[in-house]
Amino acid sequence: MILPFPYGLIAALGIFIAFPLLLRRRYMNRMGGAGGSSGTGTGGFFGMGNPGSSAVKYVCLVCNNKHKGGTCPRCGSKMQRADF
């Protein structure tokens, strides 16, 4: 009603695409981000941020060593699985 036909259609499509993206970005910022971990233990899914919950440990697939970091301190491999 405010804009002529082609411009109004483009504006409406832009709003219907941009609005959910903005909502998703705001929700992900509240939950602690998509890929980065804050290290504080707050937020997250499935109760991962509850106080008193155990930290995730990793098991090296090469030497079967349990550790916390990204690479295995024993052999230096980056192939690992999560152990809850």
Annotated domain spans of the chain: 1-32, 55-84
Sign of CA dihedral 26, 28, 32, 35: negative
- Name the H helices within the chain: 5-31
HEC-encoded secondary structure of 30-62? HHCCCCCCCCCCCCCCCCCCCCCCCCCEEEECC
**Residue pLDDT, tens place only, 36-75:** 544 444 445 555 555 555 688 899 999 999 988 788 999 9
Give dist(CA 43, CA 60) in Å, integer: 27
Instruction: Retrieve residue 77's tokens.
Output: 């491999």
**Residue pLDDT, tens place only, 14-37:** 999 999 999 999 998 888 766 554
